[in-house]
Amino acid sequence: MPKVTVRVFATFRELLGKRTIELDTAVDDVEGIIRLIADTYQPSFKKAVVDPQTGQVRKGFSVLLNGQDITFLDGLRTRLKDGDTIALFSPVAGG
């Protein structure tokens, strides 16, 4: 089973009440990790990250796997391996 570290920032941190989540899981893609976090910590988490109409990461949000935006990989279907780090960022306003 891969061990995956998930780091959450901005409103995701507020939503989950955590900065980092360590997971030992048989889940093998990014979408599965998002679903697992929603099922374990906060049911509204998946809807906050994934647009239910498109099935893709919401516009303006970023999901990185080991520093690479999953948009340039296989999106939510990006496969995971042991030791991977996922970072989730929501849009930040201000100026």
- Asked whether the predicted pLDDT for residue 92 surpasses 80, the reply is no
Is there a contact between 3 and 16 (Cβ–Cβ < 8 Å)? no
What pLDDT, on a 0 to 100 scale, did the predictor assign at position 95?
52
Q: Residues 59, 4, 66, 75: what is their CA dihedral angle, to the nearest 10 degrees?
A: -40
Q: Which domains does the chain have, with CATH numbers?
A: 3-89 (3.10.20.30)
- Asked whether the predicted pLDDT for residue 94 surpasses 60, the reply is no
Q: What mean pLDDT is reported for the chain? A: 91
Tens of pLDDT along 40-63? 999 999 999 999 999 999 998 999
Full-model pTM: 0.89
Q: Longest Cα pair distance anywhere in the chain, in angstroms?
A: 43
Is there a contact between 38 and 61 (Cβ–Cβ < 8 Å)? no
**pLDDT-derived band of residue 77, with 50, 70 and 90 as boundaries?**
very high
**pLDDT-derived band of residue 22, with 50, 70 and 90 as boundaries?**
very high
